[in-house]
Structure 1
Amino acid sequence: MIPIIVGGALLTAGLVACGGPDTDQATASPAESVTFENCGRELHVDSPPERAVTLEQNATEILLALGLGDQMVGQGYQVDEPLPELAEAFDEVPVINPETISAEQLREALPDFTYSTLGSFYSADGVGTLDELDSLGVPSYASEAGCPGAAPSSPASFQGLFDEYRDLGRVFGVEDSAEQLIAEQQQVLDEATRDATEQPTAVWIYSFYNGPPIVAGAGGMPSAISEAVGLRNAFDDVTSSAWPEMSWEQIAQRDPDVIVVADLSSRGRPGDSAEDKITQLRSDPVASNLSAVRGDRIVALSGTAMDPSIRSIDAVAELGDWLTTTGVFQ
């Protein structure tokens, strides 16, 4: 029984009465409790969740990749078309809100577990803090690379993603699925490994929200992806923010060998598409003189893959193939 507050009233909800999984499905997973540390506090889950809610798309796709669609009752914050291999399962998960799920909407869904790779969703103004949800009997997991209200304890990495898959495998009793997913992604990393005496530099451009480019700084997934394919993030020494604003003049000082632009076409905002960003690069008087622009060494990757996600490994494969095709390492 889960205490849920809706409209200020304390309710006690039983899963069967709320349209939860049937008995066969509910007993298919082992009823084992797990306890481990997550984002600086102890997370305890009594038994594998049956009514999980994901707060954003990266979390949704990770659970679906682990085969957990039947244990999900809601999702939110959709920013991209679902991965083709997950599209059918993705469409089966109810959309609570295609943008940000509110506290009231979350509680009305009667979840027994929530998950987000972006800790900013866990706030007093959002669905509630991790501690608040724990106190309501709704254990919640946030990615260690994006703990709410705190700087990451360690840089984003593929090993961190693998640890996250293992944590979720334990929570849901699907450890074998987690290990299989890890093995598949590790194989891509192994195949991408490149021995290079010198690492070409790359600037990762996410957007032009306020005019100046927002680029990848230290500690984010772009650095991990760069390292995997033999590149070096040109702004890996900037620790003030994972995505700092940099002027074209600052980028020109570093004159990267490669420019990676985020394709955020699905969001539909002006300037979000890779094509818009490349047009800006070629028309700006400073950017157009960058070596990478003059040499046409610009590649577009999914913006979603630039946050720790199931898509990050696809970015490794795509970027590795592009580097081979363009002869950057010759």
Structure 2
Amino acid sequence: MPAAPGGTSAGAAPVSVENCGTTVTVGTPPERLVTLNEGATEVALALGLESRMAGTAYLDDAVPEKWKAAYDSVPVLSAKYPTKEKLLTARPDFLYASYASAFTDKVAGTREDLRGQGVASYLSPFGCSDKSQVPPTTWQAAWGELHDVAQVFGVPERAAAIQHQQEQQLAGFTTTAAGKDLKVLWYDSDTKSPFVGAGHGGPQLVLDAVGARNVFADLPGGWQNVSWEKVVAADPDAIVLADAGWDTAQSKIDYLEHDPVLSKLGAVRRKAFVVVPFSESTPGVRLADGAARVSAGLSALRPAS
């Protein structure tokens, strides 16, 4: 998989970032980026890199309107992961993914193999294969990924501007405290054993930002499967529902409303639902948008004063 033509310009200093135990070095900012997951794609779009994107793949839900025109200007290689052959046609000089599954022999190949072919790569730190290298889920860590990519592509000022804007957003949510005194269940997927937001992931960051209490904050990790008995015992005041192409919010609402036990939960009877795109529930450039959506949704559920 050859890199795009072009060498290091005279006097240009190589840029290196440490990433999942790998040192990523580029002599000049890449010109043919391919992103292999929605989270990576949206970081690239947020940084205004669309003119340097040779391809993209694998959406979980819809790209937000603010980046829609930019996204539409980039070739879509595949609805999910592209084949190696399809990836070859894009002639990438840099691959960026959110999940380690992109860097396997079945998809792009290992990062070591790619480096041997002259193609640099970056994996979201939250997706590192070695879990000891995954950073704690914090806003600073999410911004750290943004700054890494911006450094590689020579646009550090854009990452700084995004971080500043999101810091201001979060300060506003703290002041509003739309979730004050509310117990919230963050329901991602699975009807047999619900997959829920636990105490150390994107949902927890969002719920902390809006002043709500996560009913499963005491569970380790970012996500956990729990029993419906525990959900009933928690008796949440509101339920945040992840909306993804592979498991829609409406399908979860239908399940809750038609189950003879769950339909009796106060939150279900009151239809105290807040729908959030899956991409706004994972640590990344859209997590602050998720906090905005949850803040607004919880505010709307409160009785008018």
The answer to whether TM tops 0.5 is: yes
Question: Is the partner of 1:230 in helix, strand or coil?
Answer: coil
Aligned residues: 303
TM-superposition CA deviations, 1:234-284 (whole Å, max 9, x none): 223323x643322211211222222111122xx2x5xx3322211211221
- Structure of greater relative contact order (alpha carbons < 8 Å, 6+ residues apart): 2
Aligned-partner SS, 1:79: coil
Measure the CA separation in 2 of the matches of 1:56 and 1:233: 28
How do 1:68-79 residues align onto structure 2 when only pairs under 5 Å count? 68-79=49-60
Unaligned regions of 5+ residues in structure 2, if any?
Answer: none
1:121-132 to 2 correspondences below 5 Å: 121-132=102-113
Q: 1:14–1:326: structure 2 CA closer, same or farther, 3 Å change rule?
A: closer
Equivalent residue runs for 1:64-143 within 5 Å: 64-143=45-124
Q: Distance in 2 between matches of 1:322 and 1:159?
A: 25
TM-score (norm 2): 0.89
Whether the 8 Å contact between 1:154 and 1:219 is mirrored in structure 2 is: no
Give the aligned residue type for 1:298: F
Q: Trace 1:186-201 onto structure 2 (pairs within 5 A).
A: 186-194=167-175, 200-201=182-183
What is the CA-CA distance between 1:84 and the residue it aligns to? 1.0
- Percent of paired sites with the same residue: 36
Using the TM superposition, name which of 130-139 and 80-89 deviates more.
130-139
* Cα distance, 1:50–1:247 mapped onto 2, change above 3 Å: same
User: What is the match of residue 15 of structure 1?
Assistant: 5
- CA distance, structure 1, for counterparts of residue 35 and residue 63 of structure 2: 14
Render the CA deviation track for 1:199-253: whole Å, top value 9, x for unaligned: 5332111122x633221223221111111111232223323x6433222112112
Residue aligning to 1:63 = 44
Amino acid of the structure 2 residue aligned with 1:257 = D
CA contact (8 A) 2:4 2:91 kept: no
2:103·2:110 contact (CA, 8 Å) conserved in 1?
yes
Aligned partner (choices 186, 204, 214) of residue 223 of structure 1: 204
* Cα distance in structure 2, aligned partners of 1:145 and 1:98: 23
- Distance in 1 between residues matched to 2:213 and 2:12, nearest whole Å: 45
CA distance in 2, matches of 1:319, 1:290: 20
Establish whether residue 311 from structure 1 lines up as the match of residue 286 from structure 2: yes
| TM score, norm. by length of structure 1 | 0.83
Could you say what secondary structure the match of 2:145 adopts? Answer: helix
Stretch moving more, 40-49 or 282-291: 282-291
Aligned to 2:277: 302
The 3-state SS of whatever aligns with 2:225 is coil
Query: Is residue 251 from structure 1 mapped to residue 231 from structure 2 by the alignment?
Result: yes
CA offset at residue 324 of structure 1?
A: 2.3
For residue 314 of structure 1, what is the amino acid of its counterpart? D
1:325 to 1:291, Cα distance in 2 relative to 1, 3 A: same
Say which SS state the counterpart of residue 145 (structure 1) adopts. Answer: helix
Name structure 1 gaps, 5 residues minimum.
Answer: 5-11, 17-25
Give the superposed CA RMSD: 2.7
